């Protein structure tokens, strides 16, 4: 792809405005770094939908999924949407953001911001999936976080494969929310962490500078 392709990010989408705004701010920050035009799109529940953005393209685009693991959306929905580009318009679909060492470093920053001591007992809580590839990605993300944290990290999920937070989180544990945006899932993580007596519950990744850097890297690749 030559020239300056449009940066199109694609998040899952939510009916909660705050979650969608995170995707827009991440996109704007990455586009400024890259010096290219950009738009944020969504798989569902919010507009513009990726399929609609791609169908209206009049030039090349680089599509970066704002998703933390490989799942049905990455394997099915996104390629199908990108295939709907007008004839002769090239569209490059990148990898999801996670797992990646930059995300692990951003998680550590969020934990320290919340008052956690590096190396303390830690539980990473993810949204979860029934897709085996997504489960493997989450386990990989847990290993990356452990390497950055300097101690063992236990994994819990809100759905799909894995154990639930109430089964994993112990009193005094630190909790890392492996989530990009605030919303229903982040509220559930905090509520479950509080109910289990966790000492610290870190904020979502959000527009952390390392997340912006990762979006830039995915777009360039």
Inform me whether the pLDDT recorded for 14 exceeds 90.
no
Inform me whether the pLDDT recorded for 2 exceeds 50.
no
Q: What is the pLDDT of residues 97-116, one digit of tens each?
A: 999 999 999 999 999 999 99
Inform me whether the pLDDT recorded for 74 exceeds 90.
no
Q: Residue-wise over 62-98: b if at least 16 C-beta within 10 A, else e?
A: bbbbbbbbbbebbeebbeebbeebeeeeebebbebbb
Torsion 208-209-211-216 (CA) sign = positive
100's tokens: 């990646």
For residues 87 and 206, what is the distance between their CA atoms, to the nearest angstrom?
35
Q: Is 63 helix (H, G, I), strand (E, B) or coil?
A: strand
Q: Are 199 and 174 in contact (CB under 8 A)?
A: yes
Q: Are 198 and 190 in contact (CB under 8 A)?
A: no
């Amino acid at each position: 792809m030559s020239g300056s392709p449009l940066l199109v990010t694609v998040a899952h989408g939510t009916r909660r405005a705050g979650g969608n705004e995170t995707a827009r701010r991440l996109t704007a920050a990455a586009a400024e770094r890259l010096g290219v035009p950009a738009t944020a799109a969504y798989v569902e529940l919010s507009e513009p939908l990726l399929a609609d953005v791609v169908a209206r393209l009049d030039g090349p685009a680089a599509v970066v999924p704002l998703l933390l693991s490989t799942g049905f959306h990455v394997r099915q929905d996104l390629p199908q949407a990108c295939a709907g580009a007008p004839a002769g318009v090239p569209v490059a679909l990148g990898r999801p953001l996670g797992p990646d060492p930059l995300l692990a470093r951003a998680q550590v920053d969020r934990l320290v911001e919340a008052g956690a001591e590096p190396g303390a007992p830690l539980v990473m809580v993810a949204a979860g999936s029934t897709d085996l590839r997504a489960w493997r990605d989450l386990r990989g993300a847990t290993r990356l976080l452990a390497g950055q944290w300097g101690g063992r990290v236990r994994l819990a999920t809100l759905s799909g494969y894995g154990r639930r937070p109430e089964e994993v989180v112990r009193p005094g544990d630190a909790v890392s929310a492996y989530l990009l945006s605030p919303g229903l899932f982040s509220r559930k993580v905090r509520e479950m962490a509080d109910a289990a007596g966790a000492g610290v519950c870190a904020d979502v990744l959000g527009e952390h500078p390392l997340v912006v850097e990762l979006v830039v890297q995915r777009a360039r690749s």
